[in-house]
């Protein structure tokens, strides 16, 4: 397995079938086009990372999308926008890649925003709910 940090939007587009599967299961309600525009605008940002895990045939095994926040007073943290891997070893490899990426920034907190499946995220990924995010249309 090889994990690469991606800066080419064409390579990002290879992840769209997985994104469609995620939306089909109700795990994300955002539009693909919004996601792609955001990712494309951030690919050169040193605090943004799009990492893909490949097998020996260059097939995608999983990927992660994250950004680092260095806001004073809130603590350095990484926000995980996506961490997709069907196999545990791919998940662990992507997680280790993120750990290496954030080391120079002294990041101690990982955050994820969940739309649903809260108990599964707690159980599987060991995240703990710490606040409630509320919204309304304006």
Q: Flag whether pLDDT at 93 surpasses 80.
A: yes
Interior/surface letters 32-70, b for 16+ CB within 10 angstroms, e for the rest:
eeebbeebeeebeeeebbbbbbbeeeeebbbbbbbbbee
State the DSSP string of 101-126: HHGGGT--EEEE--SS-HHHHHHHH-
The pTM is what? Answer: 0.86
Q: Is residue 71 part of a domain?
A: yes
Residue 36: CATH number of its domain: 3.40.630.30
State the average pLDDT over residues 98-119: 86
Burial class (CB in 10 A: 0-12, 13-18, 19+), 108: exposed
Domain that holds residue 85: 2-125
Q: Is residue 133 part of a domain?
A: no
Residue 130 lies in a domain: no
What pLDDT is recorded for position 33?
87
pLDDT confidence of residue 98: 95
- Which two structure tokens, joined as six digits, stand for 124? 């599987």
pLDDT digits (tens, 9 = 90+) for 1-27: 999 999 999 999 999 999 898 888 877
Q: What's the CA gap between 93 and 87, in Å, rounded?
A: 10
How many independent structural domains does the chain possess? 1
136 domain residue, yes or no: no
């Amino acid at each position: 397995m090889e994990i690469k940090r991606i800066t080419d939007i064409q390579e990002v587009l290879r992840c769209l079938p997985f994104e469609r599967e995620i939306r089909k299961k109700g795990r994300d309600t955002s539009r693909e086009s919004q996601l792609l525009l955001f990712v494309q605008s951030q690919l050169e940002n040193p605090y943004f990372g799009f990492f893909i895990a490949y097998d020996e045939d260059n097939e995608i095994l999983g990927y992660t999308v994250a950004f680092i926040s260095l806001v004073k007073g809130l603590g350095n943290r990484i926000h995980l926008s996506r961490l997709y891997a069907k196999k545990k070893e791919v998940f662990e490899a992507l997680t280790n890649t993120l750990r290496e990426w954030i080391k120079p920034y002294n990041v101690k907190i990982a955050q994820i925003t969940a739309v649903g499946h809260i108990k599964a995220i707690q159980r599987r990924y060991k995240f703990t709910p710490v606040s409630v995010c509320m919204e309304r249309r304006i």
